[in-house]
Amino acid sequence: MRVILTKRFCRSFQQSFRTSSVRKGGRGESGKMFFVAGAKSGGGSGGERRSIYQKIREVDVLDKKKTVTALSAGEDRAMFLGLGMILSSVMMYFVLCITVLRAYADSVWTEESVCIVLNSTIVADVNCSYSCGSDCWRASKYPCLQIYVSVNNTGRVSLLSHNEETQEANSECFYVPKCQKDSSAMHAMTVNISERLKVHQQVPCYYDPGEQQGSVLLSRLYGRSAVFHSLFWPSCMLTGGTLIIFMVKLTQYLSILSEEIGKIKR
């Protein structure tokens, strides 16, 4: 009897163990299925996140491209502006070199001194012509004022002329006014100049140290101040154009350097 009971107990124990293992196996399979489903659902959310990230990155890339395009267009305009300023200044230098600088270099009245007015008189009337319309010229007269001065540095006595243009027009007269119909107005103006020079006995003047020209000038059209003022604005334009190009190149260099630093950090 005891043997039979033990056999029955063993059989029942084996059956209960099999049923429990079957149940556990079913739970394991269901757990595996749940894990696979969860993994699939997690992969879908990750894909959505990746797609959103890619869209955001594409938008950022487009914005960067637009910014780079705008910057390149602005840089090109700045470069053209700088080059235009430099070319304009070079052309102005060329014009000034053949006019002002050439006249300044060819001038023989280079030394400055103080002249003492010795005599100032109107000696004669000089014929001139003025325009009265298209292809119409009429005759008039202006008084010729002669002024003798003594140069302190040399001690010589010379005729005084107003400037280079007066010297070329009439070397015998101090001032050559613009010819007008009213000769009395020109005469009154010349008398006024003569009286002023008599009041101011000492006047600054320019003479020729090589004594090629016997006359003396009261003022120079193309002196140092005239050369400085004529070259000032072209020099400013040249400097401005050079600074613009330098700033554009510096900006490009800094942008490239920042991009390289960003790539290294990534």
pLDDT digits (tens, 9 = 90+) for 118-133: 888 888 888 888 887 7
Q: Is residue 182 part of a domain?
A: yes
Give the closest residue to 226 by CA, choosing from 104, 110, 102: 104
Reported confidence tier of residue 53, pLDDT bands at 50, 70, 90 = low
pLDDT (0 to 100) of residue 89: 92
pLDDT tier for residue 41 given thresholds of 50, 70 and 90: very low
Q: Residue 174 domain-assigned?
A: yes
Q: Answer whether 248's CB lies under 8 Å from 79's CB.
A: yes
Q: What is the domain extent for residue 154?
A: 108-218
Asked if residue 210 belongs to a domain, the reply is yes
One-letter identity of residue 199:
V
b/e burial code for range 94-109 (CB count within 10 A of at least 16 → b): eebeeebbeebeebeb
Could you give the number of structural domains in the chain? 1
Residue 260 lies in a domain: no
CA distance 106 to 135: 35
Question: How many residues appear in the chain?
Answer: 266
Does the pTM surpass 0.75? The reply is: no
Tokens 């003479």 — which residue?
Answer: 207
Looking at residue 204, what DSSP letter applies?
E
In a domain, 150, yes or no: yes
Helix, strand, or coil (residue 14): helix
* Cα–Cα distance list, 152 to 202, 205, 209 (Å): 10, 10, 13
